């Protein structure tokens, strides 16, 4: 059986992080989560 490697689409992760940042204006934990996601998933 051949292995299939699926690379994540970093643009999708960036959009999710941005959406969380936009909605996080009133909730500190969402801001922290959005920042962590953005840092972890940003392409090098």
Domain ranges of the chain: 10-41
* Dist. CA 40–CA 25, nearest whole Å: 21
pLDDT at 41: 78
Percent of the chain surpassing pLDDT 70 = 66
| Mean pLDDT score, 15-24 | 74
Check residues 26 and 20 and name the one with the higher pLDDT.
Answer: 20
* Dist. CA 1–CA 12, nearest whole Å: 29
Element (H, E) at 21: helix 10-23
Query: Is pLDDT of 1 > 60?
Result: no
pLDDT at 14: 77
Check residues 41 and 9 and name the one with the higher pLDDT.
Answer: 41
Model confidence, pTM: 0.39
């Amino acid at each position: 059986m051949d292995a299939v490697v699926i690379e994540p689409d970093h643009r999708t992760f960036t959009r999710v992080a941005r959406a969380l940042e936009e909605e996080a204006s009133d909730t500190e934990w969402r801001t922290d989560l959005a920042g962590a996601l953005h840092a972890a998933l940003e392409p090098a």
